[in-house]
Chain A
Amino acid sequence: MTDPSLPGSTSAGEGLAPRPGLVALFTGMLQVALSAFGGGLSAWSQRIVVEQRRWMTNEQFLTGLTVARLFPGPNQINMAVYIGAEFRGLPGALVAMAGMLLVPFSLLMALGFLYFQVHELPAVDRVLAGVVAAAAGMALSMGFKILDQYWKDPVALVLAGAVLLALSVFHARLVPVVLISGPLAMAWYWPRPARRAP
């Protein structure tokens, strides 16, 4: 789906702001996190990083999304890491991540403290029983959400089915499942048919 849209001119495109420093990266990501309190985090980060602060071109941003989705780690946090690393390397990445996480993580910790204080109250437990049912529905929808793009690929469906079977029926652990299925799948999907898995 996502093509590797490489920006031709990464260096100082016209209309771009000067490269942000560590403080600017922190406050920028803080702004993204605060703006996105109602949801739509990646839309907000595009609006702020590309349109408002003009740190990078839209192509650079979209490349970032591709990289963030491809590599391990939460997509939104990976995106912050990409933005930080693009300008200030590892320190930039860590600072951007801290800016992105500071407020939501503090809030979540406050919620967690509240939860462990009150979760044994019967009234709270009754409400939670309902909330948990809705959350389970959200969890169920995650797989269906990406299922559509694999309908025309029977190998992908067999692979996904085998992974599901191993995890849910045979209670295998994730790490060995990925370590075994990953190389097999990569061998199958290798773009040059003459080559085999690494």
Chain B
Amino acid sequence: MPALWVAAACTPASLSDLSRLLQVIGQFLSLSLFSLGGGNTLLAEYHHLAVDQYCWLSARQFADLYALAEAAPGPSSMIVGLLGLGAAWREGPGWALLSACAAELAILLPSTLVMVLACLSWKRLAQSPLRVAFERAMGPITLGILFAVGLKILRSADTDAAGVLVSCLVCVLMLRTRISPLWFMAVAGGLGAFGLINR
């Protein structure tokens, strides 16, 4: 299924321009404080920045990098590092690595500072109505965001009917079994190698 929106090509934004670089870092810094529910809630925003706004990656590459971050050990929110890598890949490996570290630091620093403040004042915070309301309110909002993120990733994966079927099957298996998701990726990768899943 050829992606229709590839036709609407935009030129990749270069990061060697200092004001552009600062703008990008600023966007990651402010997104950091909105990473509710563990960070995966930001995936659609990353997609918007990397694919639609700055054209560093194609939708297909974004889906690839998401899969890579999920498959690799460690927190999957490290996808930000991969996006940074992709953003500056044209400028050479040194820049790419620097950009990856800058992106990861920018996305982690503000939430870390908030977290430290929260630890210091937790005893007072724990019983306050503000915390109770915040905790209850963020749950349903996170729920809505996660569904939107799931749809966004499914759309950028852009596979054929067989692929979508596999996606739905994996979704059910993730909910009903405790099988490691790496198995699903390995099996689906095999299906792809034999030409049973295409995009």
Contact = CB atoms under 8 A, between A and B. Distances in A.
Contact of B115 (A71, A127, A157, A161): A71
Interface in B63-109: 63-75, 77-78, 81-82, 85-86, 89, 93, 96-97, 100, 104, 108
A138 interface: yes
Interface string B159-172: 10001101111111
Given A6-B126, A69-B38, A78-B115, A109 B97 contact: yes
A175 interface: yes
Contacts of B130: 198
Contacts, number: 356
A167 B148 contact: yes
Contact of B116 (A81, A105, A119, A149): A81
Given A108-B74, A160-B144, A130 B163 contact: yes
B13 interface: no
Interface of B (DSSP majority class): helix
A171 to B, nearest CB: 9
Nearest to A90: B116
A10 to B, nearest CB: 9
Nearest to A184: B137
A121 B193 CA distance: 12
Interface stretch (B2-10, B15-23, B27-35): B27-35
Contact of B78 (A39, A108, A163): A108
B175 A141 contact: yes
Contact of A129 (B61, B74, B116, B192): B192
Nearest to B112: A81
A185 B39 CA distance: 20
Interface string A42-79: 00000000000000000000010001111111111110
A41 B77 CA distance: 14
Interface string B102-128: 001000101111111011101100110
A55 to B, nearest CB: 14
A174 to B, nearest CB: 5
Interface residues of A, number: 97
B150 A141 contact: yes
B153 A136 contact: yes
A142 B145 CA distance: 10
Contacts of B24: none
A75 B93 CA distance: 30
B26 interface: no
B66 A139 contact: yes
Contacts of B189: 127-128, 130-131, 134
A140 B136 CA distance: 23
Contacts of A119: 61, 64
B122 A63 contact: yes
B193 A130 contact: yes
Contacts of B111: 71-74, 78
10 contacts: A70-B118, A73-B35, A77-B77, A78-B115, A97-B112, A115-B65, A130-B189, A139-B149, A163-B140, A189-B137
Interface of B: 30-45, 48, 60-61, 63-75, 77-78, 81-82, 85-86, 89, 93, 96-97, 100, 104, 108, 110-116, 118-120, 122-123, 126-127, 129-154, 157, 159, 163-164, 166-175, 180-181, 184-185, 187-193, 195-199
Given A73-B112, A174-B34, A189-B137, 17 more contacts: A70-B138, A72-B111, A81-B112, A90-B116, A105-B104, A116-B85, A126-B198, A131-B188, A132-B67, A132-B159, A134-B170, A135-B157, A138-B170, A139-B66, A146-B146, A156-B143, A175-B31
Query: What are the nearest 6 A-B pairs in CB distance?
Result: A130-B192, A104-B74, A137-B170, A163-B144, A73-B111, A185-B137
